[in-house]
Structure formats: structure tokens, C-alpha cells
Amino acid sequence: MIITVHSYKGGTGKTLLSLNIAAMLANRDKKTCLLDLDFRAPSLGAILKTGKSEYWLNDYLNKACEIGRVLRDCSSYCIAEGKLFVGFANPSTEAIREMASKDRKWEMEALCRLLLLKKSLLERLGFDYVIFDTSPGLEYSSMNTIVTADFVFVVTTLDKSDVEGTQRMIREFYELFNKKTWVIFNKTLQSFLPLERKLESLQLPIVEAIPCSCDILSSEEAYFFASKKPNHIFTKTLQKIVSRIS
């Protein structure tokens, strides 16, 4: 299954959730692949401290290599025996500018490459789950990841413009492509009862609300929070989400 983690606005928690969901799936003995498809601001390489890659996802989309040359075994980040492979985006300034200058024709070809990638990862390489961490908004590159996905998690905060943008994206885009979508409200306040009523009134396919946690903000290894703090409300809520898909 391909899961795209997307949002309308930036900074909602896509990368944090993608990485922790991928690690949780791998810990459940699912062969999992996490791809950094945020070419605007690649971040997984810095978080996982993997250094320079010989090939990047940029090269795969540019038809310069096959996906096997891009994926790196990051299973050592799992607490159990799980298998976690990661594909990184090139973080160099030159590569970011190059990807930002791609035209519509290139993006159409990139969509074909992504659809091929889906087949290779699920059928040939036998991955159970592939998580796409994406850029926010409605740019072509993000739209391509949504078209390719079987399932979309949209991560939003309770910020009014974020909620309205999310509602619009679902109505005008995801539904058009018939994508199964779940909305994750992230960084909510802890008091759940008034929040629950508020969320109900939005009439969105809400899966869970994840509280904003100072423990995450103050943690030196925030992006590995779930494996470090298995009993934390953040981890328990993500576990519930993962149980629904696995």
C-alpha cells in the first residue's frame, strides 16, 4: 500500500509523522519504505544523518538510475527486527533549484516514473508499505504523489486557513481522483471535549487528533520520539492510526 502524507500548509508535522509511522510499521514486521519526495526542502537525510548518497530520488525521477540504487537500508533505526528502507531527496542548493524549475511536461513524465516506482516497490521488491513524505500545497510534484497513492493522510493544524485549505483540497482534488483520505489534526490543544465538538462540526474524514507536546519540541531527537517514548500520548495516538491501516 502506498500512503502519501500531505498538507495544505507547511510545518504541520508531515515529516515527523511519516518517519514515526514508517518506523512503527517496520516494527510490526512490515517491510516498509519511506521516500522523501519533498524536493523543495529535503529533510530526512539530515534527520537520519546518512550523509551523501550516490543516487537520490531526483536521479530516479530524472531517469538517471533505477530505484534500487537510491534506497538505503535504515533498519537500524527500528527497535524490533523490522525492515525499513529510505530514499532521500538531494538537499544541495543546486538540486533544489533544479527541481523547482521543472516544467509541466517533466512533471507528467515524473508521474509515469512514480507509477512505475509503485509497481517496482510493491510487486518486485515486495514492500508492504511505502510512505511518501511530500511538500505542502498544490504544486504538481505533490499532486503526482497523491495520484500515485492508495491512501492519503492530510495533516492539518486547527489554524483557520489551514482547515479551510484542507477542506478545499479534499473537495476539489482528492475527491476528483477518488482517493481514500484521512485527516490528522496535529498540534491540537490537550482539552479534548470542546475539541471533539469542533472537529465534528468540520465534517471531515478525521482519523485522530494529536496534541501539541512540549516534550516533542524540547526533545533532542524529536523525529524518533515514538520509539524513545512508547507510553507517550503522541506514540499511543500514532499507534491507533497505524493499527487502522495495518
Binding site for ligand ATP (CB under 6 A): 7, 10-16, 38, 41, 136, 186-187, 210, 212-213, 216-217, 222, 234
Shortest reach from residue 108's CB to Mg ion, in Å? 25
| Nine cell digits for residue 48 | 537520519
The residue among 41 and 115 lying less far from ligand ATP, judged by its C-beta, is 41
Shortest reach from residue 25's CB to ligand ATP, in Å? 17
Shortest reach from residue 163's CB to Mg ion, in Å? 19
The residue among 59 and 162 lying less far from ligand ATP, judged by its C-beta, is 162
- Which own/partner contact pairs does 94-101 have at CB distance under 8 Å and 24+ positions apart? 95/39, 95/56, 95/58, 96/39, 96/40, 96/41, 96/42, 98/58, 99/39, 99/40, 99/58, 99/141, 100/39, 100/40
**How far is it, in rounded angstroms, from Cα 82 to Cα 60?**
25
Shortest reach from residue 204's CB to ligand ATP, in Å? 18
Residues found near Mg ion in the complex (CB under 5 A): 14-15
The residue among 153 and 234 lying less far from ligand ATP, judged by its C-beta, is 234
The residue among 33 and 199 lying less far from Mg ion, judged by its C-beta, is 33
The residue among 31 and 242 lying less far from ligand ATP, judged by its C-beta, is 242
Shortest reach from residue 39's CB to ligand ATP, in Å? 11
Residues linked to residue 232 through DSSP beta bridges, in sequence order: none
147 makes contact, choosing from Mg ion, ligand ATP, none, with CB < 5 to 8 Å by partner type, with none
Question: What would the 3-class secondary structure string for 130-185 be?
Answer: EEEEECCCCCHHHHHHHHHCCEEEEEECCCHHHHHHHHHHHHHHHCCCCCEEEEEE
31 makes contact, choosing from Mg ion, ligand ATP, none, with CB < 5 to 8 Å by partner type, with none
Considering Cα of 85, then 91, then 92, then 96, what sign does the dihedral take?
positive
**Could you give the count of Cα atoms lying within 13 Å of 113 in the half-sphere of its Cβ?**
19
Taking the chain, what is the end-to-end CA distance rounded to the nearest angstrom? Answer: 10
62 makes contact, choosing from ligand ATP, Mg ion, none, with CB < 5 to 8 Å by partner type, with none
148 makes contact, choosing from ligand ATP, Mg ion, none, with CB < 5 to 8 Å by partner type, with none
